[in-house]
Structure 1
Protein backbone atom coordinates (compact mmCIF):
# COMPACT_ATOMS: atom_id res chain seq x y z
CA UNK A 1 0.00 0.00 0.00
CA UNK A 2 1.21 3.51 -0.83
CA UNK A 3 2.14 5.62 2.13
CA UNK A 4 4.74 7.60 4.04
CA UNK A 5 7.41 6.70 6.55
CA UNK A 6 7.83 9.34 9.25
CA UNK A 7 11.41 10.61 9.43
CA UNK A 8 10.72 13.26 12.08
CA UNK A 9 7.39 14.05 13.80
CA UNK A 10 8.52 17.51 14.97
CA UNK A 11 7.27 18.79 18.34
CA UNK A 12 3.82 17.22 17.81
CA UNK A 13 2.13 15.67 14.79
CA UNK A 14 -1.27 13.99 14.97
CA UNK A 15 -3.95 12.54 12.71
CA UNK A 16 -6.99 14.83 12.51
CA UNK A 17 -10.35 14.97 10.76
CA UNK A 18 -13.65 16.63 11.70
CA UNK A 19 -13.67 14.97 15.13
CA UNK A 20 -16.41 13.26 17.17
CA UNK A 21 -19.50 15.49 17.29
CA UNK A 22 -22.57 14.29 19.12
CA UNK A 23 -20.97 12.68 22.19
CA UNK A 24 -20.62 15.66 24.55
CA UNK A 25 -23.48 14.33 26.71
CA UNK A 26 -21.28 11.27 27.33
CA UNK A 27 -18.28 13.42 28.24
CA UNK A 28 -16.48 12.87 24.92
CA UNK A 29 -15.00 16.05 23.37
CA UNK A 30 -15.34 16.71 19.64
CA UNK A 31 -11.58 17.16 19.11
CA UNK A 32 -10.65 17.19 15.38
CA UNK A 33 -8.44 19.65 13.54
CA UNK A 34 -7.68 22.81 15.50
CA UNK A 35 -7.89 24.85 12.28
CA UNK A 36 -10.77 23.28 10.36
CA UNK A 37 -10.53 25.73 7.46
CA UNK A 38 -6.96 24.69 6.71
CA UNK A 39 -7.87 20.99 6.95
CA UNK A 40 -10.69 21.50 4.42
CA UNK A 41 -8.40 23.38 2.06
CA UNK A 42 -5.66 20.72 2.16
CA UNK A 43 -8.13 17.96 1.34
CA UNK A 44 -9.72 19.95 -1.49
CA UNK A 45 -6.33 20.51 -3.11
CA UNK A 46 -5.74 16.76 -3.46
CA UNK A 47 -9.31 15.83 -4.37
CA UNK A 48 -10.33 14.27 -1.06
CA UNK A 49 -13.59 14.77 0.81
CA UNK A 50 -13.05 17.74 3.13
CA UNK A 51 -13.37 15.46 6.17
CA UNK A 52 -10.62 13.01 5.10
CA UNK A 53 -7.94 12.18 7.67
CA UNK A 54 -4.89 14.45 7.39
CA UNK A 55 -1.85 15.21 9.53
CA UNK A 56 -1.69 18.25 11.79
CA UNK A 57 1.89 19.38 12.45
CA UNK A 58 2.92 21.78 15.20
CA UNK A 59 5.68 24.37 14.77
CA UNK A 60 7.25 22.50 11.87
CA UNK A 61 10.03 19.98 12.08
CA UNK A 62 7.92 17.29 10.34
CA UNK A 63 9.33 15.15 7.54
CA UNK A 64 8.50 11.85 5.85
CA UNK A 65 9.64 9.62 2.98
CA UNK A 66 7.26 8.42 0.26
CA UNK A 67 6.49 4.74 -0.33
CA UNK A 68 5.23 4.62 -3.88
CA UNK A 69 4.08 7.71 -5.78
CA UNK A 70 1.94 9.96 -3.56
CA UNK A 71 0.31 13.37 -4.00
CA UNK A 72 0.30 15.75 -1.02
CA UNK A 73 -0.75 19.29 -0.15
CA UNK A 74 0.32 21.38 2.84
CA UNK A 75 -1.87 24.24 4.10
CA UNK A 76 -2.19 26.47 7.16
CA UNK A 77 0.37 29.26 7.56
CA UNK A 78 2.64 29.71 4.54
CA UNK A 79 5.79 27.61 4.91
CA UNK A 80 8.74 26.62 2.71
CA UNK A 81 7.86 22.96 2.08
CA UNK A 82 10.82 21.06 0.60
CA UNK A 83 10.95 17.91 -1.53
CA UNK A 84 14.39 16.30 -1.62
CA UNK A 85 15.81 19.63 -0.47
CA UNK A 86 14.10 21.69 -3.18
CA UNK A 87 11.69 24.37 -1.94
CA UNK A 88 8.22 23.91 -3.47
CA UNK A 89 6.21 26.03 -1.03
CA UNK A 90 2.82 25.32 0.47
CA UNK A 91 -0.82 25.56 -0.67
CA UNK A 92 -0.33 23.45 -3.79
CA UNK A 93 -0.69 19.78 -4.72
CA UNK A 94 2.74 18.22 -5.25
CA UNK A 95 3.78 14.75 -6.38
CA UNK A 96 6.37 12.68 -4.54
CA UNK A 97 8.08 9.84 -6.42
CA UNK A 98 8.89 6.69 -4.48
CA UNK A 99 11.63 7.38 -1.92
CA UNK A 100 11.34 11.17 -2.01
CA UNK A 101 11.63 13.14 1.23
CA UNK A 102 9.11 15.88 2.12
CA UNK A 103 9.90 18.37 4.87
CA UNK A 104 7.49 20.84 6.50
CA UNK A 105 9.51 23.48 8.39
CA UNK A 106 8.11 25.86 10.95
CA UNK A 107 6.12 28.72 9.39
CA UNK A 108 7.39 32.25 9.83
CA UNK A 109 4.08 33.12 11.49
CA UNK A 110 1.59 30.65 12.90
CA UNK A 111 1.55 27.30 14.63
CA UNK A 112 -0.14 24.42 12.77
CA UNK A 113 0.12 23.06 9.23
CA UNK A 114 -2.00 20.36 7.59
CA UNK A 115 -0.66 17.63 5.32
CA UNK A 116 -3.28 15.90 3.16
CA UNK A 117 -2.57 12.94 0.89
CA UNK A 118 -4.67 12.07 -2.16
CA UNK A 119 -6.73 9.10 -0.96
CA UNK A 120 -6.56 10.12 2.70
CA UNK A 121 -4.61 8.46 5.49
CA UNK A 122 -5.99 5.08 6.53
CA UNK A 123 -6.48 5.11 10.31
CA UNK A 124 -8.89 2.91 12.35
CA UNK A 125 -11.63 5.23 13.67
CA UNK A 126 -12.74 5.43 17.30
CA UNK A 127 -16.32 6.68 17.75
CA UNK A 128 -16.35 7.54 14.06
CA UNK A 129 -13.17 9.62 14.01
CA UNK A 130 -9.43 9.12 13.58
CA UNK A 131 -8.62 12.33 15.45
CA UNK A 132 -6.05 12.31 18.22
CA UNK A 133 -7.57 13.93 21.33
CA UNK A 134 -4.70 15.10 23.52
CA UNK A 135 -6.96 15.71 26.54
CA UNK A 136 -8.95 12.48 26.74
CA UNK A 137 -6.43 10.20 25.04
CA UNK A 138 -8.96 8.97 22.47
CA UNK A 139 -7.72 8.21 18.99
CA UNK A 140 -4.32 7.18 17.67
CA UNK A 141 -1.10 8.13 19.43
CA UNK A 142 0.85 11.14 18.12
CA UNK A 143 3.04 10.22 15.16
CA UNK A 144 6.44 8.68 15.92
CA UNK A 145 9.74 8.48 14.11
CA UNK A 146 9.85 5.53 11.63
CA UNK A 147 6.08 5.02 11.83
CA UNK A 148 4.53 3.67 8.63
CA UNK A 149 1.51 5.71 7.44
CA UNK A 150 -0.88 4.17 4.93
CA UNK A 151 -2.70 6.10 2.19
CA UNK A 152 -6.01 4.88 0.76
CA UNK A 153 -7.20 4.62 -2.81
CA UNK A 154 -9.62 7.16 -4.28
CA UNK A 155 -12.11 7.11 -7.12
CA UNK A 156 -12.59 10.88 -7.07
CA UNK A 157 -11.67 12.89 -10.15
CA UNK A 158 -8.64 15.14 -10.14
CA UNK A 159 -9.52 18.42 -8.40
CA UNK A 160 -10.15 21.40 -10.70
CA UNK A 161 -7.79 23.54 -8.62
CA UNK A 162 -4.46 22.29 -7.32
CA UNK A 163 -3.06 25.63 -6.13
CA UNK A 164 -4.66 27.95 -3.58
CA UNK A 165 -3.52 31.31 -2.23
CA UNK A 166 -2.01 31.04 1.21
CA UNK A 167 -3.17 33.30 4.02
CA UNK A 168 -1.48 36.69 4.33
CA UNK A 169 1.29 36.80 6.89
CA UNK A 170 -0.49 37.97 10.06
CA UNK A 171 2.53 39.18 12.01
CA UNK A 172 2.38 38.99 15.79
CA UNK A 173 -0.79 41.05 16.35
CA UNK A 174 -4.22 39.44 15.96
CA UNK A 175 -7.81 40.61 16.23
CA UNK A 176 -10.38 37.95 17.09
CA UNK A 177 -14.16 38.32 17.06
CA UNK A 178 -16.25 37.22 20.02
CA UNK A 179 -19.93 37.11 20.91
CA UNK A 180 -21.40 37.45 24.38
CA UNK A 181 -21.28 34.23 26.36
CA UNK A 182 -23.74 33.00 29.00
CA UNK A 183 -21.66 34.53 31.84
CA UNK A 184 -20.69 37.81 30.19
CA UNK A 185 -22.41 39.81 32.92
CA UNK A 186 -20.55 37.89 35.62
CA UNK A 187 -17.59 40.16 34.89
CA UNK A 188 -17.33 43.32 36.95
CA UNK A 189 -16.34 45.25 33.82
CA UNK A 190 -17.30 43.17 30.75
CA UNK A 191 -15.98 45.84 28.37
CA UNK A 192 -12.47 45.16 29.69
CA UNK A 193 -12.50 41.87 27.77
CA UNK A 194 -12.22 43.89 24.55
CA UNK A 195 -10.28 46.82 25.96
CA UNK A 196 -7.25 44.91 27.23
CA UNK A 197 -4.43 43.87 24.90
CA UNK A 198 -3.56 40.26 25.67
CA UNK A 199 -0.36 38.23 25.20
CA UNK A 200 -0.35 34.51 24.39
CA UNK A 201 1.10 32.45 27.26
CA UNK A 202 3.60 29.67 26.37
CA UNK A 203 1.41 27.17 28.28
CA UNK A 204 -1.01 26.99 25.32
CA UNK A 205 -1.88 23.85 23.37
CA UNK A 206 -4.71 22.08 21.51
CA UNK A 207 -6.87 22.34 24.64
CA UNK A 208 -6.75 26.10 24.86
CA UNK A 209 -4.84 29.33 24.35
CA UNK A 210 -3.99 31.09 27.61
CA UNK A 211 -3.92 34.88 27.53
CA UNK A 212 -1.99 37.17 29.87
CA UNK A 213 -2.05 40.91 30.44
CA UNK A 214 0.94 42.56 32.07
CA UNK A 215 -0.84 45.39 33.85
CA UNK A 216 -4.48 44.37 33.93
CA UNK A 217 -6.86 41.45 34.33
CA UNK A 218 -10.55 40.70 34.39
CA UNK A 219 -12.50 40.58 37.64
CA UNK A 220 -15.66 38.70 38.56
CA UNK A 221 -18.53 40.63 40.10
CA UNK A 222 -18.48 40.61 43.89
CA UNK A 223 -20.97 38.37 45.67
CA UNK A 224 -21.48 35.85 42.87
CA UNK A 225 -22.57 32.41 44.11
CA UNK A 226 -20.34 29.45 43.42
CA UNK A 227 -20.83 28.34 39.82
CA UNK A 228 -21.63 24.68 39.19
CA UNK A 229 -19.85 22.91 36.36
CA UNK A 230 -21.68 23.47 33.06
CA UNK A 231 -21.21 22.67 29.40
CA UNK A 232 -18.68 24.69 27.41
CA UNK A 233 -18.50 24.98 23.60
CA UNK A 234 -15.63 25.14 21.16
CA UNK A 235 -14.29 28.69 21.18
CA UNK A 236 -15.44 29.42 24.72
CA UNK A 237 -13.62 32.30 26.41
CA UNK A 238 -13.42 31.08 29.98
CA UNK A 239 -12.34 33.44 32.77
CA UNK A 240 -10.79 31.75 35.83
CA UNK A 241 -10.22 33.58 39.13
CA UNK A 242 -6.81 34.79 37.90
CA UNK A 243 -8.64 37.05 35.44
CA UNK A 244 -6.50 35.77 32.56
CA UNK A 245 -8.85 34.20 29.99
CA UNK A 246 -8.49 30.88 28.17
CA UNK A 247 -9.67 30.40 24.57
CA UNK A 248 -10.90 26.81 24.24
CA UNK A 249 -9.69 24.94 21.15
CA UNK A 250 -10.41 21.51 19.64
CA UNK A 251 -9.46 19.34 22.64
CA UNK A 252 -11.28 21.43 25.25
CA UNK A 253 -13.21 19.68 28.06
CA UNK A 254 -16.96 19.39 27.62
CA UNK A 255 -17.73 20.99 31.02
CA UNK A 256 -16.07 23.62 33.16
CA UNK A 257 -16.60 25.48 36.40
CA UNK A 258 -15.40 28.96 35.44
CA UNK A 259 -17.56 31.62 33.75
CA UNK A 260 -17.74 31.55 29.95
CA UNK A 261 -17.83 35.28 29.32
CA UNK A 262 -17.71 35.06 25.51
CA UNK A 263 -17.43 32.67 22.57
CA UNK A 264 -15.19 33.04 19.52
CA UNK A 265 -16.76 32.99 16.07
CA UNK A 266 -15.94 29.93 13.93
CA UNK A 267 -13.47 31.90 11.82
CA UNK A 268 -11.74 33.22 14.93
CA UNK A 269 -11.42 29.70 16.37
CA UNK A 270 -9.34 28.77 13.31
CA UNK A 271 -7.23 31.89 13.75
CA UNK A 272 -6.78 31.26 17.46
CA UNK A 273 -5.42 27.79 16.61
CA UNK A 274 -2.50 29.50 14.84
CA UNK A 275 -1.45 31.71 17.77
CA UNK A 276 2.00 31.17 19.26
CA UNK A 277 3.62 32.30 22.50
CA UNK A 278 4.26 36.04 22.58
CA UNK A 279 1.59 36.97 20.02
CA UNK A 280 -0.63 39.87 21.06
CA UNK A 281 -4.43 39.59 20.82
CA UNK A 282 -7.40 41.92 20.94
CA UNK A 283 -10.93 40.55 21.33
CA UNK A 284 -13.66 42.49 19.52
CA UNK A 285 -17.30 42.02 20.50
CA UNK A 286 -19.57 41.42 17.49
Structure 2
Protein backbone atom coordinates (compact mmCIF):
# COMPACT_ATOMS: atom_id res chain seq x y z
CA UNK A 1 0.00 0.00 0.00
CA UNK A 2 1.36 3.43 -0.93
CA UNK A 3 2.03 5.41 2.28
CA UNK A 4 3.40 8.47 0.47
CA UNK A 5 0.40 9.71 -1.50
CA UNK A 6 0.93 13.02 -3.22
CA UNK A 7 0.83 12.47 -6.96
CA UNK A 8 1.62 10.01 -9.71
CA UNK A 9 4.11 7.41 -8.42
CA UNK A 10 7.65 7.82 -9.73
CA UNK A 11 9.43 4.86 -8.12
CA UNK A 12 8.68 1.75 -6.10
CA UNK A 13 10.83 0.62 -3.19
CA UNK A 14 11.70 -3.07 -3.61
CA UNK A 15 14.15 -3.41 -0.69
CA UNK A 16 14.99 -0.60 1.77
CA UNK A 17 18.15 -2.22 3.16
CA UNK A 18 18.99 -1.62 6.81
CA UNK A 19 17.18 1.73 6.85
CA UNK A 20 15.97 4.14 4.17
CA UNK A 21 14.13 7.38 4.93
CA UNK A 22 12.97 10.52 3.13
CA UNK A 23 15.19 13.44 4.12
CA UNK A 24 15.66 17.06 3.10
CA UNK A 25 17.53 19.76 5.03
CA UNK A 26 15.22 19.34 7.99
CA UNK A 27 13.16 21.67 10.12
CA UNK A 28 15.56 23.97 12.02
CA UNK A 29 14.04 26.52 14.35
CA UNK A 30 11.43 24.18 15.82
CA UNK A 31 13.23 23.16 19.01
CA UNK A 32 11.01 25.46 21.08
CA UNK A 33 8.11 23.23 19.96
CA UNK A 34 9.99 20.10 21.06
CA UNK A 35 10.82 19.12 17.48
CA UNK A 36 14.36 18.18 16.43
CA UNK A 37 16.01 19.53 13.29
CA UNK A 38 16.12 16.08 11.62
CA UNK A 39 17.01 16.06 7.90
CA UNK A 40 20.02 14.57 6.12
CA UNK A 41 22.94 13.63 8.35
CA UNK A 42 25.36 14.43 5.51
CA UNK A 43 23.92 17.70 4.29
CA UNK A 44 26.74 18.34 1.82
CA UNK A 45 26.08 15.02 0.05
CA UNK A 46 22.35 15.79 -0.20
CA UNK A 47 23.03 19.25 -1.60
CA UNK A 48 25.45 17.87 -4.18
CA UNK A 49 23.04 15.16 -5.34
CA UNK A 50 20.34 17.76 -5.89
CA UNK A 51 22.63 20.18 -7.71
CA UNK A 52 23.68 17.38 -10.07
CA UNK A 53 20.02 17.11 -11.14
CA UNK A 54 19.05 20.77 -11.31
CA UNK A 55 16.96 20.56 -8.13
CA UNK A 56 16.82 23.04 -5.32
CA UNK A 57 19.65 21.86 -3.03
CA UNK A 58 17.24 21.15 -0.18
CA UNK A 59 14.87 18.94 -2.20
CA UNK A 60 13.80 15.71 -0.50
CA UNK A 61 15.75 12.55 -1.37
CA UNK A 62 16.21 9.05 0.04
CA UNK A 63 18.86 8.60 2.73
CA UNK A 64 20.12 5.00 2.43
CA UNK A 65 21.92 3.56 5.48
CA UNK A 66 24.68 0.99 4.86
CA UNK A 67 23.32 0.07 1.40
CA UNK A 68 21.24 -2.87 0.27
CA UNK A 69 18.61 -0.60 -1.31
CA UNK A 70 16.70 -1.51 -4.49
CA UNK A 71 13.97 0.35 -6.34
CA UNK A 72 12.17 0.28 -9.69
CA UNK A 73 11.28 3.33 -11.77
CA UNK A 74 7.54 3.61 -12.44
CA UNK A 75 8.16 6.36 -15.01
CA UNK A 76 11.20 7.74 -16.83
CA UNK A 77 13.45 9.53 -14.32
CA UNK A 78 16.90 11.01 -13.76
CA UNK A 79 18.80 10.22 -10.58
CA UNK A 80 22.11 10.76 -8.77
CA UNK A 81 23.69 9.00 -5.78
CA UNK A 82 26.20 10.72 -3.49
CA UNK A 83 27.74 10.20 -0.05
CA UNK A 84 28.71 6.67 0.99
CA UNK A 85 30.32 4.35 -1.59
CA UNK A 86 29.07 0.99 -2.73
CA UNK A 87 28.47 -0.72 -6.06
CA UNK A 88 25.75 1.12 -8.00
CA UNK A 89 23.94 -0.76 -10.77
CA UNK A 90 21.03 -0.05 -13.08
CA UNK A 91 19.61 -3.27 -14.57
CA UNK A 92 22.94 -4.91 -13.70
CA UNK A 93 25.05 -2.27 -15.44
CA UNK A 94 27.59 -0.53 -13.14
CA UNK A 95 27.37 3.26 -12.86
CA UNK A 96 29.42 5.95 -11.15
CA UNK A 97 28.17 7.95 -8.17
CA UNK A 98 28.24 11.76 -8.26
CA UNK A 99 26.80 11.84 -11.78
CA UNK A 100 23.29 12.36 -13.16
CA UNK A 101 21.96 9.24 -14.91
CA UNK A 102 18.74 8.49 -16.80
CA UNK A 103 16.52 5.89 -15.14
CA UNK A 104 14.05 4.48 -17.66
CA UNK A 105 10.63 3.20 -16.68
CA UNK A 106 10.88 -0.37 -15.39
CA UNK A 107 14.61 -0.10 -14.65
CA UNK A 108 15.89 -1.71 -11.44
CA UNK A 109 18.36 0.38 -9.43
CA UNK A 110 20.57 -1.47 -6.96
CA UNK A 111 22.54 0.47 -4.32
CA UNK A 112 24.74 -2.31 -2.93
CA UNK A 113 26.28 -2.61 0.54
CA UNK A 114 28.66 0.25 1.25
CA UNK A 115 32.40 -0.24 1.35
CA UNK A 116 33.04 3.32 2.59
CA UNK A 117 30.84 5.57 4.68
CA UNK A 118 27.42 4.77 6.08
CA UNK A 119 24.83 6.99 4.34
CA UNK A 120 24.18 7.66 0.67
CA UNK A 121 21.62 9.99 -0.90
CA UNK A 122 19.46 8.95 -3.84
CA UNK A 123 18.06 12.11 -5.38
CA UNK A 124 15.57 12.23 -8.25
CA UNK A 125 15.17 15.11 -10.67
CA UNK A 126 12.16 17.06 -9.42
CA UNK A 127 12.63 16.03 -5.77
CA UNK A 128 10.56 13.49 -3.86
CA UNK A 129 7.11 14.20 -2.51
CA UNK A 130 5.85 13.52 1.02
CA UNK A 131 3.58 15.44 3.40
CA UNK A 132 5.26 18.53 4.86
CA UNK A 133 5.39 18.91 8.64
CA UNK A 134 6.60 22.30 9.88
CA UNK A 135 7.86 23.07 6.39
CA UNK A 136 9.87 19.86 5.88
CA UNK A 137 9.34 16.42 4.35
CA UNK A 138 12.05 14.90 6.57
CA UNK A 139 11.47 11.71 8.54
CA UNK A 140 12.10 12.10 12.29
CA UNK A 141 12.32 8.56 13.66
CA UNK A 142 12.50 9.48 17.35
CA UNK A 143 9.46 11.77 17.30
CA UNK A 144 7.51 9.81 14.68
CA UNK A 145 7.18 12.87 12.44
CA UNK A 146 7.17 12.55 8.66
CA UNK A 147 6.54 9.59 6.37
CA UNK A 148 8.32 6.91 8.41
CA UNK A 149 11.01 4.44 7.37
CA UNK A 150 10.53 3.14 3.82
CA UNK A 151 9.21 -0.39 3.34
CA UNK A 152 9.04 -2.79 0.39
CA UNK A 153 6.17 -1.84 -1.90
CA UNK A 154 6.15 1.87 -1.01
CA UNK A 155 5.54 4.11 -4.02
CA UNK A 156 6.99 7.61 -3.97
CA UNK A 157 5.86 10.51 -6.14
CA UNK A 158 7.82 13.49 -7.44
CA UNK A 159 7.44 16.96 -5.99
CA UNK A 160 8.00 18.36 -9.51
CA UNK A 161 10.22 21.15 -8.16
CA UNK A 162 12.94 21.32 -10.85
CA UNK A 163 14.65 24.72 -10.86
CA UNK A 164 17.56 24.38 -13.33
CA UNK A 165 18.73 22.20 -16.23
CA UNK A 166 20.96 19.22 -15.44
CA UNK A 167 24.55 20.58 -15.35
CA UNK A 168 26.61 19.56 -18.40
CA UNK A 169 29.60 18.37 -16.35
CA UNK A 170 30.63 17.12 -12.91
CA UNK A 171 30.27 19.90 -10.35
CA UNK A 172 33.27 19.21 -8.12
CA UNK A 173 35.89 16.58 -7.28
CA UNK A 174 34.54 13.75 -5.16
CA UNK A 175 35.91 10.78 -3.27
CA UNK A 176 35.02 8.10 -0.77
CA UNK A 177 34.19 9.16 2.80
CA UNK A 178 37.04 8.77 5.28
CA UNK A 179 36.55 5.51 7.19
CA UNK A 180 39.15 5.79 9.93
CA UNK A 181 40.97 8.37 12.01
CA UNK A 182 38.19 10.88 11.35
CA UNK A 183 38.97 14.33 12.74
CA UNK A 184 36.00 16.03 14.40
CA UNK A 185 36.13 19.68 15.46
CA UNK A 186 34.79 20.51 18.93
CA UNK A 187 33.74 23.74 20.59
CA UNK A 188 33.46 24.06 24.38
CA UNK A 189 30.19 22.79 25.82
CA UNK A 190 27.94 24.68 28.25
CA UNK A 191 28.78 22.25 31.09
CA UNK A 192 32.48 21.70 30.53
CA UNK A 193 33.06 23.03 34.07
CA UNK A 194 31.22 19.99 35.43
CA UNK A 195 34.25 17.88 34.46
CA UNK A 196 37.74 17.64 35.87
CA UNK A 197 40.65 19.24 34.03
CA UNK A 198 41.96 15.76 33.27
CA UNK A 199 38.67 14.85 31.54
CA UNK A 200 39.20 17.56 28.95
CA UNK A 201 42.71 16.26 28.25
CA UNK A 202 41.34 12.73 27.91
CA UNK A 203 38.62 13.94 25.53
CA UNK A 204 41.17 15.37 23.09
CA UNK A 205 44.00 12.89 23.60
CA UNK A 206 41.97 9.68 23.19
CA UNK A 207 41.34 7.85 19.93
CA UNK A 208 37.64 7.09 20.36
CA UNK A 209 35.74 4.31 18.58
CA UNK A 210 32.20 4.59 17.28
CA UNK A 211 30.23 1.76 18.90
CA UNK A 212 27.51 -0.30 17.26
CA UNK A 213 24.99 1.73 19.25
CA UNK A 214 24.59 4.34 16.53
CA UNK A 215 21.59 5.60 14.59
CA UNK A 216 20.06 8.90 13.48
CA UNK A 217 19.51 9.87 17.14
CA UNK A 218 23.15 9.61 18.22
CA UNK A 219 26.46 7.75 18.32
CA UNK A 220 27.80 6.24 21.53
CA UNK A 221 31.61 6.24 21.78
CA UNK A 222 33.84 3.57 23.25
CA UNK A 223 36.85 4.76 25.22
CA UNK A 224 37.86 5.84 28.71
CA UNK A 225 35.37 7.36 31.14
CA UNK A 226 35.41 11.14 31.51
CA UNK A 227 35.74 12.14 35.15
CA UNK A 228 33.18 14.58 36.49
CA UNK A 229 34.01 17.28 39.01
CA UNK A 230 30.35 17.63 39.95
CA UNK A 231 28.05 14.67 40.51
CA UNK A 232 24.78 16.39 41.42
CA UNK A 233 21.70 16.18 39.21
CA UNK A 234 21.32 18.48 36.22
CA UNK A 235 17.84 19.72 35.26
CA UNK A 236 16.88 19.11 31.62
CA UNK A 237 18.18 21.75 29.25
CA UNK A 238 18.29 22.37 25.52
CA UNK A 239 20.29 20.10 23.21
CA UNK A 240 21.53 20.63 19.65
CA UNK A 241 22.89 18.23 16.99
CA UNK A 242 26.52 17.52 17.86
CA UNK A 243 26.12 17.85 21.63
CA UNK A 244 28.44 15.45 23.54
CA UNK A 245 26.32 14.28 26.43
CA UNK A 246 28.12 12.36 29.16
CA UNK A 247 25.92 9.94 31.14
CA UNK A 248 26.94 8.60 34.58
CA UNK A 249 29.10 5.88 33.00
CA UNK A 250 31.42 8.60 31.68
CA UNK A 251 31.49 7.61 27.99
CA UNK A 252 30.06 10.29 25.73
CA UNK A 253 27.21 10.04 23.25
CA UNK A 254 27.09 12.47 20.33
CA UNK A 255 23.54 13.55 19.50
CA UNK A 256 22.64 13.69 15.81
CA UNK A 257 19.81 15.22 13.77
CA UNK A 258 16.98 13.15 15.29
CA UNK A 259 18.30 13.58 18.82
CA UNK A 260 16.12 14.92 21.64
CA UNK A 261 15.87 18.69 22.02
CA UNK A 262 16.31 18.46 25.80
CA UNK A 263 18.45 16.28 28.03
CA UNK A 264 19.61 15.92 31.62
CA UNK A 265 23.23 14.84 31.18
CA UNK A 266 26.00 17.49 31.12
CA UNK A 267 27.36 18.48 27.70
CA UNK A 268 31.15 18.66 27.80
CA UNK A 269 31.58 19.85 24.20
CA UNK A 270 29.67 20.40 20.95
CA UNK A 271 30.70 19.22 17.47
CA UNK A 272 31.38 22.14 15.15
CA UNK A 273 28.81 22.50 12.38
CA UNK A 274 31.53 21.95 9.77
CA UNK A 275 32.19 18.44 11.17
CA UNK A 276 28.59 17.21 11.38
CA UNK A 277 28.54 15.86 7.80
CA UNK A 278 31.66 13.75 8.44
CA UNK A 279 30.05 12.45 11.61
CA UNK A 280 27.02 11.39 9.57
CA UNK A 281 29.25 8.99 7.57
CA UNK A 282 30.84 7.30 10.60
CA UNK A 283 30.43 3.50 10.75
CA UNK A 284 30.61 1.23 13.82
CA UNK A 285 34.30 0.65 14.52
CA UNK A 286 35.43 3.97 13.02
CA UNK A 287 38.14 5.66 15.08
CA UNK A 288 37.59 9.34 15.89
CA UNK A 289 39.92 12.07 17.09
CA UNK A 290 38.64 15.34 18.48
CA UNK A 291 40.38 18.62 17.67
CA UNK A 292 39.74 22.15 18.83
CA UNK A 293 37.48 23.91 16.34
CA UNK A 294 38.38 27.39 15.28
CA UNK A 295 35.92 29.88 16.76
CA UNK A 296 35.65 33.16 14.83
CA UNK A 297 35.02 36.16 17.01
TM-based fold match above 0.5: yes
Shift of 1:25: 1.1
Q: Is the 8 A contact 1:46 1:162 kept in 2?
A: no
Q: What aligned pairs does 1:111-150 form with structure 2 within 5 A after superposition?
A: 111-150=118-157
Tell me the TM-score normalised to structure 1 length. 0.95
Distance 2:34 2:175 in 1: 35
Q: Does 1:207 align with 2:217?
A: yes
Q: Does 1:230 align with 2:237?
A: yes
Give structure 1 stretches of 5+ with no counterpart. none
Q: What aligned pairs does 1:70-109 form with structure 2 within 5 A after superposition?
A: 70-109=77-116
- The structure-2 alpha-carbon separation of the partners of 1:155 and 1:205, relative to structure 1 and needing over 3 Å to count, comes to closer
Distance 1:139 1:187 in 2: 38
Moved over 3 A (4+): none
Aligned residues: 283
Give structure 2 stretches of 5+ with no counterpart. 1-7
Shift of 1:157: 2.8
- The structure-2 alpha-carbon separation of the partners of 1:70 and 1:236, relative to structure 1 and needing over 3 Å to count, comes to same
Q: What aligned pairs does 1:163-178 form with structure 2 within 5 A after superposition?
A: 163=170, 164-178=172-186
Q: What aligned pairs does 1:1-286 form with structure 2 within 5 A after superposition?
A: 1=8, 3-163=10-170, 164-188=172-196, 189=198, 190-213=200-223, 216-221=224-229, 223-286=230-293
* Cα root mean square deviation, aligned: 1.4
Q: Is the 8 A contact 1:18 1:33 kept in 2?
A: yes
Distance 1:201 1:157 in 2: 41
Shift of 1:166: 2.5
